[in-house]
Structure 1
Amino acid sequence: MIKYSINLFHLVLIGLWFAVPIDSDANPTAAQSVEPTLTRVEPNNDMVSGGANVRIIGENFQDGATVTIDGRAASNVIFVSPTELTVEVPAGAAGSVNVVVTNPDGKSGTLTGGFTYIEPPPTLTRVEPSNDVVTGGTTVKIIGANFQDGTTVTIGGRAASNVIFVSSTELTVEVPAGAAGSVNVVVTNPDGKSDTLAGGFTYIEPPAPTLTRVEPSNDVVTGGTTVKIIGANFQDGATVTIGGNAASNVIFVSPTELEVEAPAGVAGSANIVVTNPDGKSVTVAGGFTYTPLRYDVTGDGIVNILDLVRVASQFGETGTGLEGDVDDNGVVNIFDLVVVANHFSQE
Structure 2
Amino acid sequence: MNGLSPQRGPSSGGTLVTIYGSNFVVGSVGETKVTFGGLAGEVIEVQKDKILVKTPPHPSQGSPVDVRVENPDGQWAVLAESYAFFSSPRIDSVNPPRGSSVGGTEIELLGEQFQPGIQVYIDGKAARSVLWLNAGQVRAVTPGGSLGAKTVQVVNPDGGSFSLEGAFAYEKSTVLLESVVPQKGAGGTVITITGKEGNQFDRAAQVRVGANFAGGVTYIHEREIKAVVPPGTVEEIKDVTVINPDGAQDTLPGAFRYIIMPSISSITPNYGWVGDLITIKGTNFDKIFDPEQYHQPQVLIGGFPVEIVDATKIAEGTLLVKIIEGNLGPADVTVRNPADPEQGVTVVGGFTFTTGKSQPQVHEITPNVGSTKGGTEVTIRGEDFRIAVDGSLPVVKIGNKTAEIKKDVDGEPFVAPTQMVVISPEHTAGPKDVTITNPDGGTVTVPDGFTYKIPEKMVRITSVTPDRGTVEGGTPITVFGVNFPLPEEVPQQAQVGLFIGGNEAGEVEVLDTNTITAVTPGGYVEEGELETAQDVMIEIRRLDGQGEVISLERYTLPGGFIYRIPESQPRVDRVFNEETGDNTGPLAGGSIIRIEGVDFRSGLKVYLGKIDPANQAQVQSVETGSIRAVTPPASVAGPVDVIVINQDLGQAILKNGFVYRGTSMIITSVTPEFGPVAGGTRIRITGANFDEDTLIWIYLEAASNPENIIRYEATEVELEADSFGTALTAVTPRFTPGWKNVVVANRYGEYIYRNGFQYLIPSVDPIIDRVILENGDPARGPV
- The bucket for the TM-score relative to the shorter chain is 0.3 to 0.5
Structure holding more helix per residue: 1
Whose radius of gyration is greater, 1 or 2? 1
Q: Which protein has greater RCO, CA pairs closer than 8 Å, 6+ apart? A: 1
